[in-house]
Structure 1
Amino acid sequence: MIPEGELRAGKLLVATPALADPNFADTVVLLLDVDDDGALGVILNRPSPVAVAEVLGQWSARVAEPEVLFRGGPVGTDAALAVALLRDPTDVPVGFRAVDGRLGLVDLDTPTELLDGSLEGLRIFAGYAGWAAGQLEAEVEEGSWYVVPGETVDVFGGDTSRLWRRVMRRQPGQLAWHSTRPADPDLN
């Protein structure tokens, strides 16, 4: 049984070795919305080779390094979601929708000048990860995901290649041991 409130916006899903879906192998997913209808999130550690400047030029000067689109998930890959961090939680600009504290989503149709000075971080994701009602809970129960607290650096940090291990390493107790597991335990 999943404790009440464990699956909520702002939490991270960290793929376990038991997760069979190759779309999510070794991923860290930021949950953006969880309700009775299901859940939605974005994969944080799948940068693409496509520069933001190539597809959303007006946003390129505002995104965190690396200045590329991230593959947010296998659903809706022709659409983009912008995850942002407010500098000041009392200064909420037009086009920003809070998700968890200072973390939120930015409407990419918003004129960029309306956001100047308001954002501390911004990352743009092509596509998202989505779960129907009860689906994510079932995957957590079967051991496909660890549900852990997120930190700002997880979303906006520059090097995402070792994000899975960094997130696992900071977890309490035996959960941190998983950060040193080999990619293929059968070869150990």
Structure 2
Amino acid sequence: MPPVFSHGDLRLYLLNLLAEAPRHGYDLIQALSDRTGGTYTPSAGTVYPRLAKLEEEGLVTKFADGRKTVYEITDAGRAEVTARAGDLEGIEEGLADSVRLIADEVRGNVREAMRSLRADLAAAAKTDRSSASHAPVDDSRADSRAQLQRADAALTEFRSRVRSTLRVHVARGGAVPPSVVDDLTAALDSAAREVARALGD
């Protein structure tokens, strides 16, 4: 994935965040992570030197608030934010694209997993029907139990993969759009209907 911020954009975006309200360093890092849907969480070594440079340029000031250092935009900083409103609009569009890419990736993973699950279950059902018509009753039941265990394992693996993907994404500060959950629910419903149809129920 290409860098979230092009050269110089992070500096301007930090100014923009400070134009909204005074913030301490960690708050700025968290805000950047939130605004990028978790695709970009800068280190302190990335943010603080830029804040120092902005202070040196007279665009921000800092003051102590207990044990924290809070940064506040100056009038000169606000003037730069206003003058570069067009650049900020482009940055915001880029951030929105990054969040959409993450959502599309999660949605694609869900669809791929569901296609694999449907294929496995359909194959298991076909094997079960074939065994039922050619094998003794006892062997058929044993095979059905084996296929049921296989289906249970596939469902457990699917649940674990999707849950892990979603939890990691949210833990990184990413958002889970309703459309992703809607797609997941629809895919699960479709898989359930496919299983029932394949079994003849």
Q: TM range, normalised to the smaller chain? A: under 0.3
Q: TM-score if structure 2 supplies the norm length?
A: 0.19
TM-score by length of 1: 0.20
User: Who wins on radius of gyration, i.e. which is larger?
Assistant: 2
Of Structure 1 and Structure 2, which has the larger fraction of its residues in strand? 1
